[in-house]
Chains A and B, each alone.
Chain A
Amino acid sequence: MTAARPIVEARGLWKRYGDVAAVDGIDFSVGEGELFGLLGPNGAGKTTTISMLACLIAPTSGTIVVDGHDCLTEPMAVKRTLGIVPQEVALYPTLSAAQNLAFWGRMYGLRGASLRSAVDEALELVGLAERAHERIERYSGGMKRRVNIAAGILHRPRVLLMDEPTVGIDPQSRNHILETVRRLNDDGVTVVYTSHYMEEVEALCDRVAIMDHGKIIASGTVRELSDLVGGLDVITVVADGASEADAAALKGCEGIAEADVSDDGLRLLAPRGGSALASVVRMLEGRGVRIRSLTVTEPDLESVFLHLTGKTLRD
């Protein structure tokens, strides 16, 4: 999948804050037209990486080249190539969506008729054309996020950096946003998409890098990553009252490779999922955990993360 000409290249990227290495020596490249996912839990270093790509913060060491321009020496050229959708909604709450977008369009040099049509098209794309003249502060959280995206794509950037654009919003807005990202990518926009929702990244991205503690612990297509888990099956336990101690106890069981607490129970990896089920049930009932359901599935990105770090990707 790296056949396409790389449009974003990061080499030996490193960012320290005091003793913390927010980004701890990462290398990756994104091909033109690719939808590249950066998956990792809270504090993994996703936002720090995006900020360095956008020339907002200088790396402690390492280089970033975007479309042939070095971030350090030609930041303006890099900034013109990029669009950014920050993790927080970065808009003026008392101005309307149209006023906000007009301002951001002007910051990217759009004027007059081309500005007006860019604003209209961006609002159309995120499905908020009818509410263009309402103040941002009156919008719902999901709608604000959609305008936040519109502000990033208005000037038709060749590369769009999106930092967790769907965090904390309703499923309807989320689907709308994912659909928008797909359409932009179909139109040829290269997208770097960070998230800690593995289903999202799995469904959306051509290629994924998994980050944890500032490092890229694995990268490749979803298929390649799933293969890392090898012959392991995923056992998803939905249960009330499962604790870290239960996970630790299961890890000690024969036939269980990994176990960790998840949002609604436990997630396990086992070489032969089907035959491990009986001992899982016995063990958990013995520990007083009320199991509500048990499923065995093929490996997904979540299981890759669990396999590589021994942790689940939780909020």
Chain B
Amino acid sequence: MGALLRIAAKDLAVLVRDKAAVLVMLAMPLGLVFILGSALGPSAGAGFDAKVAIVDLDSGPAGTRFVEGILAAEGLDEVFDIEVRSDVGEVRRDVSRGDLQAALVIPDGVSEAVAVGAPAVLEVLQDPGSQIAAGMWAGVARATASAASAEIVARRVVAQQALSRGTTPPVDLAPIVVSIEDTEVDTASRISAVGYYTAGMTGMFLLFGAMFGAFAFVRERREQTFMRMIAAPVPAWAIVGGKATGVLLATVGQFVVLLAGTSALFGVRWGAHPAAAVAVGVAESACAAGLAMVLAGIGTSERSIGAIAPAVIMLFAATGGAMLPVEALPAALRPLQVVSPVYWAVQGFLDVMRGASWAEVSTNVATLSGMAVVFLTFGIWRVSRR
């Protein structure tokens, strides 16, 4: 056991001196989170204050109620920075410039339409570069509209009943209360773009530890330090176990730096249960250790591993939702998700950011651990056949 840990510690010491490894494992994910997060989100700060606007062109009461309903909705102001504007041309321009992520336009005539029971159409202007924010805003509008419609239908039913009973309908009906309590706003989208990419890039880049671990392995074989270790009175399991543990420790360290780095630099909120985040991170690190053994077992040189590893990791990342939300994936590729460690990690991290506890991500942790066992078993078998 002593020899195993000393081999792991030595690998760690070698790795931190490798500039390429530090660049890929730390600088790249942090840089990508920054770039993708600020390209797709309005601010790289905490939460998600997407700037949106409402323009009420309706002269009647329906539009006013609608606007009031949205402004009074609880919690919306945490997510959106809502402006009530009057010049639709100006708003359109601001959206096209990206100064606003989206805008809801209530056209003139909505009140009349509602009064005679004709369909009323609301318009959502969205910046295609801010799909997440715009999509959410459209969701809010849709939810508010359907609540309002329900209200209108209810009023009509009450009125018709009154008419059929021959009584006068009550003039002063209960005020319309627009509520988004049970709206379809996907809470997943509550995570900021920076938060999303933090989960995605962390899930993806933790696996790059596997590539450097496999590099270290073939380098030891080539430079004969491997032979020297075998010549020492150290059992073979301690050598292979030490190499795998080295990758595990390196990747856990990488995870801790990314966790601390994204929260310090970008204000990412990793949820109320850091232990849950660590559990997912450690389980994925174990996958990386296993994958390192697989790569070392099938690759013969740094060149071949350097070609295979990024391709495999990218594939895992693309199917696992590290680059785009998994919902954006073509349906045909969805079944591949379950075999991607990145998927289980990214979903786990996102859940943790939404406040999930240890128990709520235990499926992710268990799946990742199972994958780690499979990788390690296969990898160690391959490596020891060499």
Contacts and interface: CB of A to CB of B under 8 A. Distances in A.
A47 to B, nearest CB: 11
Nearest to B223: A90
A104 B232 contact: yes
Interface residues of A, number: 26
28 contacts: A55-B231, A76-B235, A79-B231, A79-B232, A79-B233, A84-B228, A84-B231, A86-B227, A86-B228, A88-B224, A89-B224, A90-B228, A91-B223, A91-B225, A92-B14, A93-B223, A94-B17, A99-B13, A103-B6, A104-B228, A104-B232, A106-B2, A106-B3, A107-B3, A107-B229, A107-B232, A107-B234, A151-B228
Interface string B222-255: 0111011111111100000000000000000000
B181 interface: no
Interface of A: 51, 54-56, 76, 79-80, 82, 84, 86, 88-95, 99, 103-104, 106-109, 151
Contacts of B233: 76, 79-80, 107-109
Given A84-B231, A89-B223, A92-B10, 16 more contacts: A54-B231, A76-B233, A76-B235, A82-B231, A90-B228, A91-B223, A91-B225, A92-B225, A94-B17, A95-B10, A95-B17, A99-B13, A106-B3, A107-B229, A108-B232, A109-B233
Interface string B318-362: 000000000000000000000000000000000000000000000
A56 B227 contact: yes
A119 to B, nearest CB: 14
Interface residues of B, number: 20
Contacts, number: 59
A109 B13 CA distance: 19
B13 A95 contact: yes
Given A88-B223, A92-B225, A106 B231 contact: no
B18 interface: yes
B290 to A, nearest CB: 24
B331 to A, nearest CB: 48
A90 B17 contact: no
Given A88-B223, A92-B225, A107-B3, A56 B231 contact: yes
In the complex, the 6 A-B pairs of residues with the closest C-beta atoms, listed nearest first: A107-B232, A90-B224, A79-B233, A94-B17, A90-B228, A80-B233
Contacts of A99: 13
Contacts of A54: 231
A56 B224 CA distance: 11
A177 B87 CA distance: 88
A80 to B, nearest CB: 5
Interface string B207-235: 00000000000000001110111111111
Nearest to B234: A107
Contacts of B18: 94
A117 to B, nearest CB: 18
Contacts of A93: 223
A86 B10 CA distance: 20
B61 to A, nearest CB: 75
Contacts of A104: 228, 232
A55 to B, nearest CB: 7
Contacts of B13: 95, 99
Contacts of A108: 232-233
Contact of A90 (B3, B227, B235): B227
Given A76-B233, A80-B233, A107-B3, A86 B224 contact: yes
Nearest to B230: A56
A90 B225 contact: yes
Given A94-B18, A95-B13, A99-B13, A107 B227 contact: no
Contacts of B14: 92, 94-95
Interface in B5-42: 6, 10, 13-14, 17-18
A106 B6 contact: yes
A49 to B, nearest CB: 14
Contacts of B231: 54-56, 79, 82, 84, 86
Nearest to B19: A94
A185 to B, nearest CB: 20
Contacts of A76: 233, 235
B205 to A, nearest CB: 22
A51 B228 CA distance: 10
